[in-house]
Chain A
Amino acid sequence: MGNQEKVSFLKDKAKELRKTALTMIHEANSGHPGGSLSAADIMAALYFYELKLDPQNPSWYERDRFVLSKGHVCPILYSSLILRGFMDKKEIYNLRKFKSILQGHPDMKKTPGVDISTGSLGQGLSTAVGMALGLKRDGIGSRVFCLVGDGETNEGQIWEAVQTAVKYELDNMVIFVDNNRIQNDGFCDEIMPVLDLKDKFQAFGCETYRIDGHKMEEIVNILDQIRGRRNKKPIVIVASTVKGKGVSFMEDVPKWHGVAPNDEEFEQALREIEEGLK
C-alpha cells in the first residue's frame, strides 16, 4: 500500500471505530464517548497498522501488547477488537449487558484480545511496564503500547511506572497520551493543570514526541519513525486531541465525558462521523 492509500484506509477505519463505539454506547445507554472519540484515530492506526496480533490466537505469546490504561474508553478498544475479528460483530450490542463478555471496563478474563483488566486510573501503565520488562528479559522483540489519559496523569502511580520504565531502559514500550485537555469534572486546567506533558515525560527520561492525534499522516509517520528504534528509552507520544472529536456537539465539551447520546443525538453523530473529520 502506498502512503496515501494507507492513510485513507486508516481514516476509514477510524470512522468505523467511531461509529461502532457510539453504537455500543448508545445501545448500552451508558459509557464514555468523549475519550473514545479522542482516541479513535490512534486506535485505528494501532489496530489496523501497527500492532502485531493474531485474532485467531489472542494469547499468542510473541504478539504486541496493548494496555488501555484509561480503561473507561473501552468502547473504542472493543470496536477495534471486533473490527479486527477478535469477536463476533453481534457483540456490539452487548456492551455493559448482564453476562456480556464486554464489561463496562476492560476485563482480560472475559474479552478476547484484552491484555489486562483496567478501569482504575493510574494502574494500567504499571502493568504495561511489567509486560515490557518481562518480554525484554525473555529476549522477545514484541512491544507494549499503552494509552494513558491526560487527566489520568494526575495519579502519582503513572510517574512511579515511568520511573521504572526509564530505569529498566524499556525501549520496547510506547506510551500514547491522549491529551484532550478534559478530565471528568471539567477542563484539566481547572481541575488539575497537567502542564506540558511532553516536557514532564522528557524530564523523567523518556524519548518524547508531540503529534496531532487526529492527523492520520502524523500518527502513521511517528509509528514508522519509532518502529525499529531501540535507544534504551521508553517512547512517549503526547497526542494533541479533541475530546469528542468527529461529533460537533461533543467536541471539547466536558459533559460528553461519560454520558450516552439519545436517539436523535446518536443519528446526528453518525451522520457527522460519516462526513469525516473537519
Chain B
Amino acid sequence: MKALREAFGDELLELAKEYPELYVIDADIGKSCKTTEFQARFCKQHVNVGIAEQNAAGVAAGLATLGKIPIVSTYAIFGSLRMCEQIRQEICYPNLNVKVMCSHGGLTPANDGASHQAIEDMGVMRTLPNMTVIAPADYYSARNLVRKAVEMYGPVYMRFTRDAFPFIYDENIQLEIGKANLLKEGNDIAVIASGEIMSVAINACEALEKEGINARLLDMHTIKPLDERAVVEAIEECGALITVEDHNIINGLGSAVAEVMAECGKGRLKRIGVRDKFGESGPYEELLASNGITVEEIVKSAKELLK
C-alpha cells in the first residue's frame, strides 16, 4: 500500500534528472503534494507562488511558452475548479505543454470534508478541448503515468490520492495514455473503473467470480481521450457494463462511457460513483458506502444487469 501522491513526488525526482526543462509550481501545499524533495534537490526548477492557484496556472503557461514543461501541483479541488478558467484560457486554448497534477482527488481527503473532496474535477477538465484527463489506480501506475504525461506534448490533468491504496501493478508496469488496460478477462459483464477505486472493482470482480459471473475488468486510467475501442469491444463482447469511479456519476468516467454506448445503439450500463451530492467528513469507506460505491453494490448491479 502506498499513497498515489507519493508516486508523484518520487517520479518527479527521476524525471528532473532527465528533463532540465521540467518545472514544478507549488501553491503553498508542496508538503502535502510531495514536492518538497524536488524543491530541495532542483530549486532552480521550482517555483512557489503562494496561495494563488490562478496565478500558478498563468505562470505555468508563461513558462511553457519558453519550452519548459511546467507541472502545477495543488489539491484536485483547486487545480480543477479555482484554476479552471485559467487552464481553459491560458493552457488549453493555446495548447501549451502544462501538466496539472493534483493530490487529494475524489473523496480521499475524507476527514477534510466536502470543501476538499474533488468530485467534479475529472468531468470539468474533460470538457476542455486539448485536455488529457487521467486518474491512476495505484502507486506504480501513477509513477508510470506521470512519466508518460511528461513525455507527451500537451495539457494533462491528473489526480492522485492523499491516502495509501493497495498495489495493483508492480514497478515494471507500462501503460499507454488513452488506452485501457485489461486487468482481467471475462465476457459475462465488463467492469470499467478509473482511479484508486480500482481496488474495490477488483474485489467486486472476485466476488462475481464466486457467483459464477465472469467479469472483464478494465483500468480506464485515461478518461479523455477515452479508449472508445475498448468500450465498444466490451459492449459487443459482454453486453453489460458497470463503471466505477470516485467522482460524480455526472460527467466523469460513467458519462464518458455512456456517451459511447448511446452512439453505439446497444448495451446496458450501470454507473457507480458519487450520486451527485456533496460529501462530508468521515472515513473514506463510509463515504463510499453512502454512495453505493461498494463491492456489494457492484455485485448487485451486475446481477440486475444480467437478469
Contacts and interface: CB of A to CB of B under 8 A. Distances in A.
A164 B49 CA distance: 6
Contacts of A131: 62-63, 65-66
Contact of A130 (B54, B60, B93, B94): B60
Nearest to B89: A120
Interface in A103-160: 107-109, 115-120, 122-135, 137-138, 156-157, 160
B58 A127 contact: yes
Contacts of A129: 55, 58-59, 62
Nearest to A140: B66
> Residue among B57, B66, B85 with the most chain A CB within 10 A?
B66
Contacts of A138: 66
A134 B50 contact: no
B90 A116 contact: yes
B28 to A, nearest CB: 12
A122 B83 CA distance: 13
Nearest to A130: B62
Given A108-B94, A137-B44, A161-B58, A127 B49 contact: no
Nearest to A137: B44
A175 B68 CA distance: 23
* Interface bracket on A: 35 or more
A133 B90 contact: no
A127 B62 contact: yes
B289 interface: no
Contacts of B90: 116-117, 120, 123, 126-127
Contacts of B288: none
A160 B66 contact: no
Contacts of A107: 93-94
A161 B54 CA distance: 9
B166 to A, nearest CB: 38
B36 interface: no
6 contacts: A122-B54, A123-B89, A130-B61, A164-B52, A164-B55, A168-B47
Interface of A: 61, 65, 107-109, 115-120, 122-135, 137-138, 156-157, 160-161, 163-164, 167-168
Given A118-B89, A134-B23, A157-B58, 8 more contacts: A108-B65, A126-B59, A126-B61, A130-B62, A131-B63, A138-B66, A156-B54, A160-B55
